[in-house]
A and B are shown apart, each in its own frame.
Chain A
């Protein structure tokens, strides 16, 4: 079935790069997403990548997609304390409607 897996926790020092990894199972996924959730808030779409792309860069964010290994990563350059949040990877599920399959989320902690 469809499944998305992420490590649950990542700790980095302020100013370093963060890399959050995700693996997914549905090879037919057309879009893959990264959402950010701050404490007590809803999810905010950070970026997404279409399945025919290998990489997408948006300011401090770089998304890498390895379709062969079904591996997606999000790199945050120059990580700041404001980047502390939970990051969710999501893939587009099958089923003919707008269904997203979410991972459990990676909690990013940024320390001085």
Chain B
């Protein structure tokens, strides 16, 4: 079945530690996105990538980094510079980055600070 796989489902971060969240898709989509979800707030865009080897900052990129070396994969690293990392992280993809493309979401990773 085609879809988006995020792992792990739960992740704990220690003070000063970098952690990486995985996102893989087998939908052959060009565009991929990372969103952060906090309780009582809408989703906020962290980074997006319209094509392999290219990515752009979203609205809240500070303290995060990404790479897009393969079409299928768009990992997100939460660095120690992100002072409030506890949130639910959602990865999404779309066929392309045009305005009519629908987003498909993974099942999310809950990141908590120890």
Contact = CB atoms under 8 A, between A and B. Distances in A.
Interface in A13-56: 30-31, 33, 35, 40-45, 48
Interface size bracket, B side: 20 to 34
B6 to A, nearest CB: 8
A30 B98 CA distance: 12
Interface stretch (B14-22, B41-49, B64-72, B74-82): B41-49
Contacts of A40: 9, 107-108, 110
Interface residues of A, number: 24
B5 to A, nearest CB: 11
B41 A45 contact: no
- State the main secondary structure of chain A at its contact with B: strand
B43 A102 contact: yes
Nearest to B59: A99
B50 A88 contact: no
B72 to A, nearest CB: 17
A92 B99 contact: yes
Given A42-B105, A43-B105, A98 B42 contact: no
Nearest to A4: B42
A102 B98 CA distance: 18
A8 interface: yes
16 contacts: A30-B99, A40-B107, A40-B108, A42-B92, A43-B92, A45-B102, A88-B43, A98-B33, A98-B97, A99-B48, A100-B43, A102-B42, A103-B42, A104-B40, A104-B41, A105-B42
